[in-house]
């Protein structure tokens, strides 16, 4: 709870700091706030100590929101640091950009800590609304405007569906509180059709939020149109928060075997569609961000396996998978920002190994991690998810493995362009220290996370 | 001390990046020799009769069921010696070329060695998979950076093929864990009891991974393209060592893990292998490009080894071990010869070559010696290997044995056709520099080992016999906990 307040206040301060028209001050305020928040999360995780323990509808007294909170804060810190390279080009707006991202992060933290549907809805809106704005932050760019509008309209629609679903569940159980809902489901009729309709509606809005098929059409356009840093934020922070909430609601409230046999098969079918749609569409993309958007749809498909697995370690699996995915995607986003190709073509990465070997190395490892090749973190994440889903959905795991093999094609294309040596190199790329640090952190995380997963998991239990 | 096996390559892979340009090649050669010496020392200290020897065995990531289990027995040591022996030879054959002074090349070569050694000493299923995949990265980069101009499509095919195959191995491992293995440690995996049906499926997953890598007919279509587009060192690594990973995997993992399924897989695999023998040999006879010719020849040879392994009896397995060593050496030598043509003349098409024996007598001699080794004349290691393999297959089924035996005849046809067309006939070129000292040394080392093993194969056979016996016991009584 302390950390949440710190994030909010530092976001607010960042807005005021913007009056000084000094972008560096804004960045410093926000980073200080984020680092403090990370420290507070870690402190509470370690010793359980916290100044404000209780707040209506929010519960930080277990490790789940804390570990998610740490990771989303780290992601936000990294993204703000690299996004700063673009933000400071418009000194009069830097404060808004960074402030909005901080507010969105507040929503993300709430999304993993809520204990009732009302707080969950608030968190979702706090998370989404700043992103609607941020997606359109390049005002002169038509595609950025399109992204913003598309995201807002479809997002608002999905929110409506979510509210409708919550209302049905309320009708069936008589409560917004997760515990009371769980109790009501346990004591009541599990085949109550009001409840089932509610579950389906909530599930569809989640499917929309995480960008799974068949509600994925917004995501390539939005990812493509939004500025790089915002795309990175959506792919890491927003996705992680949405999945955290998804798992929380569906494993605590709707996780009984009877209900799971109801929504499980439906979600399994969606998972298959999601994986194939994402992969097959990514094969033919020529723009980096669009390709990443489709590949992220595929990753959503893999992640949905966690929800289906019903395994005891689902939370840890999800957390680890999203963390490793987040670091890889942030690394790639950083590469995109550094290369700064206005066309954003894959061909624009040509000769990256000559222009800056370090950037090429980080990109290489990031792509390997996305593809799930050992010894990167992506492999360990995939392995955890797949092996835990095997008992219930072995056929789905086989399909996911087939998809991993398909995805190699476009990942290799990316590597082949960036790493090959004979292409005519462009001018050298020099890194700003901050960007270099972010790339270094991502590199270490991608290579090291798998090997320390044991210690990480002990945090969650 | 045995951990140095893994540490030395990593150390050299990293340190070579900061060595001054002039010293890179001598430094890398030293690195290769360091590993070789270490391997020989370990081999000397190893008591063949003692069977399995553990290097490290400890918990690693218990939540994932991973253990950090490294160890070796006679079979592993043999493969380690092959790896560590071929790496210096590969460096040596590149020694007079600019590639040898390239830091990234040397670095990738050592990374490759790291992965390969890991594969041969990993005694944990997932660890094996990790090392198995790690080898893909350096070989991909070596081919991408230093390969022929039209390499990208071939490389893509290679990578997707092999990755696709190995994912099924991963699926099998996951399934095996779900069947109640305590961890992925090899003894825990051996101990899992399976029904014949599920074992058949899981063996299929491993088989796909290995069949692509070996490659067995019909999973071989990546091979000729990749071999011919890769740089010489890449081809040597692929054919000399990398495909031995898969053969080793069959011996160590595939069959002992799923003895229940052996009954339903033996015949199909042997038939595929035998088809590969004929198919590879016949295509090799028709090839014009020398590298493609040797690629198909390799397909033919490994088909025989894979078939032999599937019979899983003492003598045939020993034969397959000898033949694996032999094939590694011969393949490296032949690809070096093909590359010498290409370097000197800019072509490796048989139709453009001729009369080189007169200009380069030393080369002609060593190439001929290799050609004889390749067709397995007596007193070369190939003779022992092929004899034992064909005998094993003949005992399994006489028709298979007879068909496999044609490899000797067909092998002679394509090898000597290549030799004649390139070395004799009308002279087509006038300047052909004879071998440089490093190339000569590489050829000589290869031939010495081949002849020594051909004269006294007991060195290899005696070395691996107890380990093979252990494996066969494991297969016959799945409850025996001997790795």
Measured CA to CA, the distance from residue A373 to residue B159 in angstroms comes to: 12
Inspect the interface and report whether the beta carbons of A412 and B159 lie closer than 8 Å: yes
C-beta separation of A419 from A355 below 8 A: no
Q: Tell whether omega for the bond before A375 is within 30 degrees of 0, i.e. cis.
A: yes
Out of B144, B145, B174, whose CB is closest to A390? B174
Closest CA to A313 of A170, A456, A99: A456
DSSP-derived secondary structure letter, B96: T
Q: Using alpha carbons only, how large is chain A's radius of gyration in Å?
A: 21
Inspect the interface and report whether the beta carbons of A379 and B133 lie closer than 8 Å: yes
Out of A316, A398, A409, whose CB is closest to B171? A398
B175 chain-A contacts, CB cut-off 8 A: 390, 394
pLDDT of residue B483: 45
Helix axes A2-17, A94-113, angle to 10 degrees: 170
Angle CA(B383)–CA(B385)–CA(B388) in degrees, nearest 5?
Answer: 105
Measured CA to CA, the distance from residue B226 to residue A406 in angstroms comes to: 19
Label the pairing between strands A58-59 and A54-55: antiparallel
pLDDT of residue B376: 87
pLDDT of residue B480: 45
> What does A118-173 look like in DSSP terms, one character per residue?
HHHHHHHHHHHHHHHHHHT--TT-HHHHHHHHHHHHHHHHHHHHHHHHHHHHHHHH
pLDDT reading at B26 higher than 80: yes
Out of A412, A420, A453, whose CB is closest to B61? A453
B65: which 2 tokens? 């069921």
DSSP-assigned beta bridge partners for residue B71: B54
Measured CA to CA, the distance from residue B418 to residue B422 in angstroms comes to: 6
Question: Which site among A412, A414, A418, A457 would you substitute to test the B interface, given the most B Cβ atoms closer than 10 Å to its Cβ?
Answer: A412
State how far residue A161 is from chain B, nearest Cα, in angstroms: 38
C-beta separation of A81 from A434 below 8 A: yes
The rounded mean pLDDT for chain B is 88
pLDDT of residue A45: 86
Q: With bands split at pLDDT 50, 70 and 90, how would you rate the model's confidence at B120?
A: very high
φ/ψ bin of A257: left (φ > 0), alpha (ψ from -120 to 50), beta (otherwise): alpha
Closest CA to A378 of A280, A448, A284, A436: A448
pLDDT reading at B479 higher than 60: no
pLDDT of residue A450: 86
Measured CA to CA, the distance from residue A66 to residue A428 in angstroms comes to: 41
pLDDT digits (tens, 9 = 90+) for A422-444: 666 677 888 888 999 999 999 99
Instruction: Tell me whether B179 touches chain A (CB under 8 Å).
Output: no
C-beta separation of A68 from A86 below 8 A: no
Inspect the interface and report whether the beta carbons of B171 and A383 lie closer than 8 Å: no
CB atoms within 10 A of CB B207: 27
Percent of chain B topping pLDDT 70? 99
- Domain ranges across chain A: 257-461
For residue A58, the SS3 value is: strand
Closest CA to B168 of A175, A179, A161, A402: A402
Percent of chain A topping pLDDT 90? 60
The whole-model pTM stands at 0.93
Q: How far is CA B75 from the centre of its chain?
A: 13
Measured CA to CA, the distance from residue B97 to residue B243 in angstroms comes to: 26
Number of helices (H) and strands (E), helices first, in chain A?
A: 20, 2
pLDDT reading at A332 higher than 50: yes
Instruction: Tell me whether B153 touches chain A (CB under 8 Å).
Output: no
What's the start-to-end Cα distance of chain B, in Å? 21
Out of A408, A420, A451, whose CB is closest to B160? A408
**Dihedral sign (CA B280, B284, B289, B291):** positive
Measured CA to CA, the distance from residue A198 to residue B287 in angstroms comes to: 67
Rounded mean pLDDT, A14-20: 87
pLDDT digits (tens, 9 = 90+) for B221-268: 999 899 988 998 899 999 989 999 999 999 999 988 888 888 889 999
Percent of chain A topping pLDDT 70? 99
ipTM reported for the complex, 2 dp: 0.91
pLDDT of residue A425: 65
Task: Specify the range with the lowest mean pLDDT, choosing from A173-187, A226-240, B23-37, B55-69.
Answer: B55-69
């Amino acid at each position: 709870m302390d950390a949440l307040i710190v994030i909010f206040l530092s976001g607010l301060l960042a807005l005021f700091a913007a009056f000084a028209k000094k972008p560096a001050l804004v960045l410093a305020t926000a980073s200080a706030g984020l680092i403090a928040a990370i420290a507070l999360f870690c402190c509470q995780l370690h010793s359980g100590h916290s100044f404000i323990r209780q707040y209506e509808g929010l519960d930080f007294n277990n490790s789940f929101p804390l570990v998610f909170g740490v990771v989303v804060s780290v992601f936000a810190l990294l993204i703000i640091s690299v996004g700063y390279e673009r933000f400071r080009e418009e000194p009069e707006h830097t404060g808004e950009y960074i402030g909005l991202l901080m507010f969105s992060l507040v929503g993300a933290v709430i999304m993993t800590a809520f204990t009732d549907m009302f707080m969950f809805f608030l968190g979702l809106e706090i998370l989404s609304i700043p992103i609607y704005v941020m997606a359109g932050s390049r005002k002169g760019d038509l595609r950025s405007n399109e992204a913003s509008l598309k995201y807002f309209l479809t997002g608002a629609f999905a929110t409506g569906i979510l509210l409708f679903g919550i209302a049905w569940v309320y009708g069936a159980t008589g409560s917004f509180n997760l515990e009371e809902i769980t109790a009501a489901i346990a004591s009541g009729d599990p085949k109550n059709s009001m409840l089932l309709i509610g579950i389906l509606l909530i599930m569809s809005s989640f499917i929309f939020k995480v960008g799974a098929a068949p509600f994925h059409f917004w995501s390539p356009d939005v990812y493509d149109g939004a500025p790089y840093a915002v795309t990175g934020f959506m792919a890491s922070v927003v996705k992680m928060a949405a999945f955290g909430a998804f798992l929380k609601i569906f494993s605590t409230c709707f996780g009984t075997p009877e209900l799971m046999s109801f929504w499980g098969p439906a979600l399994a079918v969606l998972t298959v569609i999601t994986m194939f749609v994402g992969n097959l569409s990514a094969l033919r993309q020529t723009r980096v961000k669009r390709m990443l958007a489709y590949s992220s749809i595929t990753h959503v498909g893999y992640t949905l396996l966690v929800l289906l697995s019903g395994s005891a370690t689902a939370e840890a699996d999800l957390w680890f998978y999203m963390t490793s995915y987040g670091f890889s995607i942030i690394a790639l986003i950083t590469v995109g920002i550094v290369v700064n190709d206005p066309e954003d073509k894959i061909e624009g990465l040509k000769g990256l190994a000559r222009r800056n070997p370090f950037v090429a190395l980080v990109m290489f490892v990031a792509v390997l991690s996305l593809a799930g090749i050992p010894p990167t973190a992506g492999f360990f994440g995939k392995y955890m998810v797949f092996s835990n889903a095997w008992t219930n959905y072995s056929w789905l795991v086989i399909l996911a493995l087939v998809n991993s093999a398909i995805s190699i094609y476009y990942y290799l294309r990316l590597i082949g362009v960036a790493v090959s040596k004979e292409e005519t190199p462009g001018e050298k790329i020099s890194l700003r220290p901050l960007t270099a640090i972010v790339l270094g952190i991502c590199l270490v995380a991608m290579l090291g996370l798998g090997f320390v997963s044991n210690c990480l998991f002990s945090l969650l239990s | 001390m045995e951990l140095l096996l893994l540490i030395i390559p990593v150390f050299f892979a990293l340190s070579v990046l900061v060595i001054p340009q002039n010293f890179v090649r001598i430094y890398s050669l030293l690195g290769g020799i360091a590993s070789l010496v270490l391997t020989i020392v370990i081999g000397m200290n190893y008591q063949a009769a003692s069977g399995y020897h553990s290097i490290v065995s400890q918990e690693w990531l218990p939540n994932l069921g991973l253990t950090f289990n490294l160890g070796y027995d006679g079979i592993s040591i043999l493969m380690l010696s092959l790896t560590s022996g071929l790496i210096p030879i590969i460096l040596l054959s590149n020694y007079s070329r600019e590639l040898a002074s390239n830091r990234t090349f040397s670095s990738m070569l050592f990374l490759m060695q790291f992965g390969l050694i890991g594969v041969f000493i990993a005694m944990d299923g997932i660890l094996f998979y990790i090392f198995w995949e790690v080898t893909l990265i350096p070989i991909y980069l070596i081919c991408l950076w230093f390969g022929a101009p039209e390499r990208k499509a071939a490389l893509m095919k290679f990578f997707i093929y092999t990755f696709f195959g190995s994912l099924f191995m991963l699926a099998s491992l996951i399934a095996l864990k779900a069947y109640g293995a305590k961890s992925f440690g090899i003894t825990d995996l051996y101990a899992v009891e399976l029904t014949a049906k599920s074992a058949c499926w899981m063996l299929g997953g491993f088989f796909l991974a290995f069949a692509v890598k070996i490659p067995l007919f019909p999973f071989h279509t990546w091979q000729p393209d990749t071999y011919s587009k890769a740089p010489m060192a890449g081809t040597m690594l692929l054919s000399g060592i990398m495909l031995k990973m898969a053969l080793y995997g069959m011996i160590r993992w595939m069959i002992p893990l799923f003895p229940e399924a052996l009954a339903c897989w033996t015949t199909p695999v042997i038939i595929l292998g035998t088809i590969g023998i004929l198919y590879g040999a016949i295509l090799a006879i028709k090839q014009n490009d020398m590298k493609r010719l040797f690629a198909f020849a390799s397909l033919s040879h490994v088909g025989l080894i894979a078939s032999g392994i599937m019979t899983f009896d003492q003598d045939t397995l020993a034969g397959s071990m000898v033949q694996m060593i032999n094939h590694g050496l011969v393949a490296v030598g032949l690809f070096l010869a093909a590359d010498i043509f290409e370097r000197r003349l800019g072509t490796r098409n048989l139709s453009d070559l001729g009369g080189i024996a007169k200009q380069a007598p030393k080369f002609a001699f060593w190439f001929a010696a290799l050609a004889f080794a390749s067709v397995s004349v007596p007193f070369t290691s190939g003779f022992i290997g092929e004899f034992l393999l064909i005998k094993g297959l003949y005992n399994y089924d006489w028709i298979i044995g007879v068909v496999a035996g044609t490899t000797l005849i067909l092998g002679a046809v394509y090898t000597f056709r290549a030799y004649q067309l390139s070395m004799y006939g009308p002279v087509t070129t006038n300047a052909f520099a004879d071998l440089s000292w490093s190339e000569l040394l590489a050829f000589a080392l290869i031939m010495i080992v081949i002849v020594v093993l051909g004269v006294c194969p007991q060195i290899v056979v005696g070395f691996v016999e107890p380990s093979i016996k252990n494996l066969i016991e494991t297969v016959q009584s799945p409850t025996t906990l001997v790795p």
